[in-house]
Amino acid sequence: MDNNIWTEKYRPENFSEVLGQEEIVKRIQNLTKSVNIPHLLFAGPAGTGKSSLALVIVKELFGKNWKENYLELNASDSRGIDVIRQEVKNFARTKSLGNVPFKVIFLDEADALTREAQQALRRTMENFTSTCRFILSCNYSSKIIDPIQSRCAIFRFKLLERKDIFKKIKEIAEKENLSISEEALIALYEASEGDCRRAINLLQATASISPNITENLVNTIVSSAKPADIKIVLDYALSGDFIKAKEKLLDIMLKESISGQDVIKAIQKEIWSLPIEDSLKVKLVEKTGEIEFRMVEGSDEFIQLEALLASFVLAGQGKA
């Protein structure tokens, strides 16, 4: 295994390699062919291909000269108005090299820009449209001011599905000579929650230990509660044995160094496989959400989780 960061090494090189965003890719491809792209706003969760697609667009437009015609800035590092007035404006006002009549500026995490910086960006986008196109990437488009949104074609990215994550992981495993079990693939997908970057990083971290990727190895790296252990806790609680449920939960959290919020997420996933009425499952999910909110607000993790186990005990007795 080499020491390169796999998320960079296995970035898509063309439109066909961008996974899980077929409709967006099709529309972008048509715009790129016409060599007349508008300002673009990519919104969606992390690890869904926003930065990769921006890079593919630039490479398709400029070919070998893409580096001279492309400026990438992470707005969360340079949040203020100065970076827009100086760095962005200086790049935008110069003519592009080659046949394409404009350059491209990619602003990653644009929702981290201050409102003043966004107002300055709005004017820059107006003044330099003839020589520059902007691609903005953000997690939440609602944090981008309306005047900028109205100047952009907005594309909303979705979390990747299981088949897309599996395809990418299998492709990397083959190129890196790794053997990976079906259970390990599922564990990687569940840990990534549709974030392809996270899935690849987890695969690389796991491969640094062994080229034989197993579910246990993935769970060790992820440091999350194993579903089988959480199921034991919930089975104890539903059978009415609160003491054993509490002891087992404490054992899991201390031995595996798992946070209360990670335990809550594991419990929420496990609820749906419990042998109880659907109406009870709904009530327990609601209770789980309430406990999670209290923990986020600063309540003691162990006390809140014990309160949640008490709800499962009552559910098992039909009193929830």
pLDDT digits (tens, 9 = 90+) for 59-84: 999 988 898 889 888 766 655 666 67
Residue 241's CATH number: 1.20.272.10
DSSP 50: H
Write out the two tokens for 92: 């935008």
Find all residues with CB under 8 Å of 100, minimum gap 6, and list them: 35, 61, 62, 69
Instruction: Give the Cβ contact number of residue 134 at 10 Å.
Output: 25
CA 42, 22, 200, 195 torsion: positive or negative? positive
Residue ending a domain, among 100, 124, 156, is: 156
Q: Is the same domain home to 95 and 197? A: no
Structural element, H or E, at residue 154: strand 152-156
Number of domains forming the structure of the chain: 3
Nearest-Å Rg of the Cα atoms of the chain is: 24
CATH of residue 152: 3.40.50.300
User: How far does Cα 204 stand from its chain's mean position?
Assistant: 17
Given 135, 156, 177, the domain boundary residue is 156
Last residue of a domain, one of 156, 179, 203: 156
Q: Are 100 and 67 in contact (CB under 8 A)?
A: no
Instruction: Output the pLDDT for position 80.
Output: 62
Query: What is the widest separation between alpha-carbon atoms in the chain?
Result: 74
Is 44 inside any structural domain?
A: yes
Q: For the whole model, what pTM was predicted?
A: 0.76
Q: What is the DSSP letter of 95?
A: P
> Is residue 44 located within the same domain as residue 136?
yes
193, 119: one domain = no
The Cα angle at residue 314 between residues 313 and 316, in degrees rounded to 5? 65
Flag whether 12 is in a domain. Answer: no
Residues 34 and 139 in one domain: yes
Reported as a single tens digit per residue, the pLDDT across 254-274 is: 877 788 888 898 898 888 888
Residue 163: exposed, middle, or buried by beta-carbon count in 10 A (0-12, 13-18, 19+)?
exposed
Do both 218 and 237 map to the same domain?
Answer: no
Considering the domain architecture, whether residues 75 and 113 belong to the same structural domain is answered as yes
Q: Report which of residues 75 and 177 the model is more confident about.
A: 177
Q: Does residue 1 register a pLDDT over 70? A: no
Same-domain status, 212 and 252: no
Q: What is the pLDDT of residues 297-313, one digit of tens each?
A: 988 888 999 999 998 88
125/20 Cα distance (integer angstroms): 30
| Neighbour-count burial of 150, counting CB atoms closer than 10 A to its CB (0-12 exposed, 13-18 middle, 19+ buried) | exposed
Q: Does residue 4 lie in a domain region?
A: no
31 and 152 share one domain? yes
Q: How far apart are the first and last CA of the chain?
A: 52
Report yes or no on 9 lying in a domain: no
Give CA–CA dist 24/9, Å, rounded: 23
Do 196 and 139 lie in one domain? The reply is no
Check which CATH number belongs to the domain holding 210 and give it: 1.10.8.60
Distance CA 303, CA 8 (A): 43
Q: Does residue 29 sit in the same domain as residue 142? A: yes
- Asked whether residue 139 falls in the same domain as residue 188, the answer is no
**What domain range is 190 assigned to?**
162-222
pLDDT, averaged across the chain:
87
